[in-house]
Each structure stands twice: as C-alpha cells, then as structure tokens.
Amino acid sequence: MARRRGLGKDDVIAAALEIVDRDGLDALSLKAVADALQVQSPSLYSHVDGLPGLLDDLAIDVTADFGETLRDSVVGVSGGVAVAAFAHAYRDWATNNPGRYELSLRKVANADKRVAGRGAIETMDRVLTSFGLTGADATAAGRTLRAALHGFSTLETADSLGRGRHDASFEYLVEHFVRGVRVGAGRNG
C-alpha cells in the first residue's frame, strides 16, 4: 500500500463515517479505515487512540451534528409545532443514519461529548419551556419525549413496528405527547 501524505484526523473521521454510513457500525475497524485511506493501520494511531478513541471521536462528531439538526428544526416555531418539528427531525435523522444514531448514544467519558450534546438538550429545553415547563417537570417531559422518539425510531429502523402506517402511528405519538404536556403544564388546547 502506498503511503498517503498529508493525512489528518478529519480524513480519518470522514473515512470512518463513510464506512458506518455504507456498511453499518459493526463493519467499522481500523483496518477498514486504513484500507479506505490507502494507508497501513498503524499510521492511524497518530490521529486516533485506537478503535475506542475513534469511536469516541465519531460519537462526539455525530452528536454535534444531530444537535444542530434538531436545533435547526425548531427555528421560529414553538409549542406543539416545535415538538412536531423536533420529533420529525429526530426520527428522520435517526432512521436515515442508523450507524450515526447508534454512535450518538455511545457513552464517552470525555467532556467534549457533553458539549456536543448540548445542542440537542438546549433545543429540547427551549421547546418545553414554550409550554411553561421548568425544572423537574421539564426534565421529566424531556426524558419522556426522548424515550418515545428513541423507541419509535429504533423499532422502525429494526423493522420491528409491524405492518401498517408508521407515519400515522408517529403522528399519534407526537399528538399525544403534546396533549399530555399541555395537561401537565396546566394548559388546555
């Protein structure tokens, strides 16, 4: 294999994400990345801390991207419209990027992951604040929404929702979450 000059960490991350997107997270290895970059596997160690370090770097990168997608989805909207926009953006990103979504769930001891995840958390907080939720109520509602969206998206990606109209089921989930949040916030409508 010819030695590639000018290889940087961004090249390693991009090649790894291409493998994850094309073949799934299980296909990711340092050898697969090295082969894609036309280098020897040991040359990757100057850019990433082995496969665990690469996975951590990828988790940080995709978490930031996911957060930006969620943030962009709710620009200029609030209340139920914002929840629906957030929910659709979440579902679309998770189901269209299953490997990246799995990486976004990876626990990383590094503070950079928490920073990367702030985009999603702050967006969800803004959406829930538009209902008048704060403190423990906002936290509970946020966890409930995330669990519902994660469950639906994960089951849909695994083709485990069964036959029928998934879109209608998703709309039902969002509608009932919004209704429940309004009741919990002491609001009608």
Q: Are residues 25 and 104 in the same domain?
A: no
Q: What is the pLDDT of residue 140?
A: 92
**Separation CA 88–CA 66 (nearest Å):** 13
Residues in the chain: 189
CATH number at residue 44: 1.10.10.60
Long-range Cβ pairs for the range 28-36 (8 Å, 24+): 28/54, 28/55, 28/99, 30/54
Q: How many domains does the chain have?
A: 2
At residue 180, φ and ψ (nearest 5 deg) are -65, -40
Asked if 21 and 72 sit in the same domain, the reply is no
Provide the pLDDT for residue 188.
Answer: 39
Q: Do 114 and 170 share a domain, yes or no?
A: yes
Which helix (H) or strand (E) is 170 found in, with range? helix 166-184
pTM: 0.89
| CB-based contact 20:28 (threshold 8 Å) | yes
The answer to whether residues 128 and 170 belong to one domain is yes
Q: Are residues 5 and 94 in the same domain?
A: no
Question: What average pLDDT is seen over the chain?
Answer: 91
Contact 124, 146 (CB under 8 A): yes
Do the domain assignments include residue 189? no
Residue appearing with tokens 């609001």: 187
- Note whether 79 and 25 are same-domain residues: no
Classify residue 53: in a domain, yes or no.
no
| Residue 3: half-sphere exposure toward Cβ, Cα within 13 Å | 4
pLDDT digits (tens, 9 = 90+) for 132-183: 898 899 999 999 999 999 999 999 999 999 888 899 999 999 999 999 999 8
Q: What's the pLDDT score for residue 111?
A: 75
pLDDT exceeds 60 at position 43: yes
pLDDT at residue 104 is higher than 80:
yes
Q: Do 42 and 126 belong to one domain?
A: no
Residues near 23 by Cβ (< 8 Å), separated by ≥ 6? 32
Whether 123 and 83 map to the same domain: the answer is: yes
Domain that holds residue 30: 1-48
